[in-house]
Structure 1
Amino acid sequence: MTTSTRPAVFFDRDGVLNHDAGYLFEASKFEWMDGAREAVRLVNKAGYFAFVVTNQSGVARGFYQESDVDALHRWMADQLATVGARIDAFEYCPDHPEGVIERYRRDSDRRKPGPGMIIDLMKRFPVAADRSILIGDQQRDVEAARAAGIRGLLFREGNLAAFVREALKLG
């Protein structure tokens, strides 16, 4: 391991950073989880990469388009910036084996519990996998983390900043 690597926190989106509203793509329906923006800022200040890895099968199901996902992620980045926080990269998987949009109807190792999104980010960024974690709200998130060689933690409720502070052993 070189000294240039840094640990990362991989955040699931729906159910972790925001309340899961089911196939969310509109900023007007987006509701941050308690402590979510502060959690990202804590991760930034601790010197970790902050990533979002999210299944977005609503694209394959025809509920919205990739451009809608991108627009929501830009909006989230703008909202985070107002509190001095940032996400280093957003990754999402639009695929689903039962999708109605043919080009997205497929199995993908990027769709959690597959580790593809995490592995892709670890190839693009100098991530110290042995010190990195994924925070998700579903067992498939933890399975994806394990398959990528990092620790996965389940977040079910409460304040995300407090959860991150404990997970990273921050004072």
Structure 2
Amino acid sequence: MSHPAIFLDRDDTLIEDPGYINNPGQVHLLPHAAETLIELRRLGYRLVVVTNQSAVARGIVTEEGLAEIHDRLIELLHREGAGVDAIYYCPYHPNGIVPEYRRDSDLRKPNPGMLLLAADEMDLDLERSWMLGNSYRDIAAGQRAGCRTILVTSAEKPVSKKPTDPVPFRKAVNLREAVNIIKTFDQQRPIARAEAAAPAAPVSH
């Protein structure tokens, strides 16, 4: 049976965003990120990070360096008893300076490629899944994949909306509020909740 998932953006959703992160020492969890993931797993969801990483195309970090950054993220989550099932990233950008990464890609949000790939590889039910992120690119990717969406933004870090931007299913001021939205929705429309096993080592793409 296919599983519902929570797709999460990385920067400014799970971890602080100081700009382009290029070393593990810059990785710092946002408040309540770990406890949010623990609660979402209890609700029966697979947890998948989907992140644009044009820093690779821009020559700021290599894919090997990015793997170390993601290892640090996993380490910090595990210290608090949390984890994710997989991390998918897109290293491409049409204006990149590294030739092999200088192109557009179906994986790059707002395209839904990372979500579709994860659904195929992990047997995920997109209609019962959610996309959480702090930008309208995240919302567009989630909607194009057939997921419900929550824009996670606050008064301290508002997101400007253009007329062409999609309308999220819901808005939340932080991840804790996003979890409450999902819990309320699930109570009205329950999902099958096989007891969630402890997460295996995440797959990074």
TM-score bin (small chain): over 0.9
Equivalent positions of 1:88-107 (< 5 A) are 88-107=85-104
Q: CA deviation at 1:5?
A: 1.7
Contact 1:33 1:160 in 2 (8 A): no
The question of 1:66 aligning with 2:63 is answered yes
2: CA distance, partners of 1:9 / 1:126: 13
Q: Which residue of the partner structure matches residue 37 of structure 1?
A: 34
Q: CA deviation at 1:25?
A: 3.0
The question of 1:80 aligning with 2:77 is answered yes
Rg comparison, structure with higher value: 2
Q: Which residue of the partner structure matches residue 168 of structure 1?
A: 183
Contact 1:44 1:86 in 2 (8 A): no
Contact 2:27 2:73 in 1 (8 A): no
Please list the CA deviations of residues 19-40 of structure 1 after superposition, one character each: whole Å capped at 9, or x if unmatched: 2111113222222111111111
Equivalent positions of 1:1-171 (< 5 A) are 4-157=1-154, 158-169=173-184
Could you tell which deviates more after superposition, 39-48 or 136-145?
39-48
TM-score (norm: length of structure 2): 0.77
- Structure 1 residue runs of 5 or longer lacking an equivalent are none
The 4+ residue runs of structure 1 with deviation greater than 4 A are: none
Q: CA deviation at 1:167?
A: 2.6
Could you tell which deviates more after superposition, 83-92 or 101-110?
83-92
1: CA distance, partners of 2:150 / 2:77: 22
Q: CA deviation at 1:11?
A: 0.4
AA aligned to 1:84 is G
Q: CA deviation at 1:82?
A: 1.8
Contact 1:96 1:107 in 2 (8 A): yes
Residue identity (%): 37
Q: CA deviation at 1:165?
A: 2.9
Q: CA deviation at 1:81?
A: 1.4
- Classify the secondary structure of the residue corresponding to 2:88: strand
Q: CA deviation at 1:141?
A: 0.6
AA aligned to 2:86 is A
- Classify the secondary structure of the residue corresponding to 2:55: coil
AA aligned to 1:166 is I
Q: CA deviation at 1:163?
A: 2.3
Contact 2:153 2:174 in 1 (8 A): no
Larger RCO (CA under 8 A, 6+ residues apart):
1
TM-score (norm: length of structure 1): 0.92
